[in-house]
Structure 1
Amino acid sequence: MDRNQEAINLMKEQKYEEAAEIFNKVIDENPKDPLGYINFGNLLLHVNDLERAQRFFEKAIELDEHAATAYYGLGNVYYEESVYPKAQENFQKAIDIGLVEADVYFMLGMTFYHEEHFKLALPYLLRATELDPDDEEVLFQYGLTLAQSDHIKDAKTVFENVLKLEDQHSDAHYNLGVIAIYDENLSDALVHFEKALEIQPEHTLAANGKSQIEELLNNTDM
Structure 2
Amino acid sequence: MASNRIRILAIDGDLAMIRLLRKSLRDSHYKFQAAFNGKAGIAQFEKTLPDVVTVDLDLPDMEGHEVIRQIRQSSDTPIIVVTARNQETDKIMALNGGADDYLAKPLNPDEFLLKVRLALRHHIFAGGKSVVVCGDLVIDLLKQRVVVDGTSLYLSPMEYRILGILAGQQGRVLSCQYLLQAVGRPFTLAGEKYIRQYIAQIRCKLNGNVLDRYINTVPGFGYQLRLQPG
In the superposition, the TM-score normalised over structure 1's length comes to 0.31
Higher strand share: 2
Q: Higher helix share goes to which structure?
A: 1
Asked which structure has the greater RCO (Cα within 8 Å, sep 6+), the reply is 2
Q: Normalising by structure 2, report the TM-score.
A: 0.30
